[in-house]
Amino acid sequence: MPAIVPYCIPGTKWNYHTPNDGSDIGGTQPTGYKLQQLPDGSVYLEITGTNYSDVEFYATLPTIPEEFTGNLIHEFDITPDANAEIVQAREFDSILTYQGYTYENQGSLQLNYSEGGNLQITNGAGQWIDIGDNPGIFVPGQPTHIRIVYSFNLQNHTGGVVGISLNNDPLFSIPSAFQNEASQSKKWNDCLFAQFQLDTNKVGGIFGETISNGKFTWG
């Protein structure tokens, strides 16, 4: 049976990174940010910044179920505020470390608002690449359900995103070139991160989003 691990529940450990803290995210340092866990376990994320400011929020799940064979599904609802005119991109990532190997660039997706809501994925070099799907920007004030399907080859230490679905639409298949990216031998402890990065555009300002019903399904 698949193991289901929710993370939008009370008690989940959340944290954040900014460009000035030594992490590898780009952009300029935000002037402010907010991470607010709500009573139902959902989380409100917010950034205030000048042009091209970034902040990355993440939930840590330290336990990898014994049932894990290489298949993983990440699901969550994202509800944006109304300030779409200052958004460069809304990024959502999954970073997996298992048995000494870290699958990082394999799990990064973003909705590029500067291109009208173009869906992009990172390649093995960490570059953003169009995947041929342009669903448009998220509707302000309304939740969008996102389902991301991953497959990892635990023997060859490769993997990637197989497909993505928005609001239970049919799964959009990711080009095969992005499905078998090599992992990195970082020797971290086994863990899984759900990450959400907020990027302001050249205008700058403040915007936020609420993440709810987040869960991983292992198989």
Fold designation for 3-218? Jelly Rolls (2.60.120)
Q: SS3 for 115?
A: helix
What residues contact residue 137 under an 8 Å CB cut-off, 6+ apart? 84, 87, 111, 113, 116, 117
Rounded to an integer, the average pLDDT of 139-150 is 96
Range from 107-111, 137-141, 150-154, 173-177 carrying the lowest mean pLDDT: 173-177
More confident call, 212 vs 162: 212
Rounded to an integer, the average pLDDT of 129-138 is 89
What residues contact residue 187 under an 8 Å CB cut-off, 6+ apart? 100
Over 60: is that where the pLDDT of 130 sits? Answer: yes
Domain segments of the chain as ranges: 3-218
Over 70: is that where the pLDDT of 1 sits? Answer: no
CB count in 10 Å sphere of residue 178? 18
- The predicted pLDDT at position 216 comes to 93
198 neighbors 99 (Cβ within 8 angstroms)? no
Look-up of token digits 């990065």: 197
- The predicted pLDDT at position 112 comes to 96
Average pLDDT for the chain = 90
- The predicted pLDDT at position 159 comes to 84
Range from 30-39, 94-103, 114-123, 209-218 carrying the lowest mean pLDDT: 94-103
- The predicted pLDDT at position 116 comes to 94
Kindly report the pTM of this predicted structure.
0.93
Range from 8-17, 177-186, 208-217 carrying the lowest mean pLDDT: 177-186
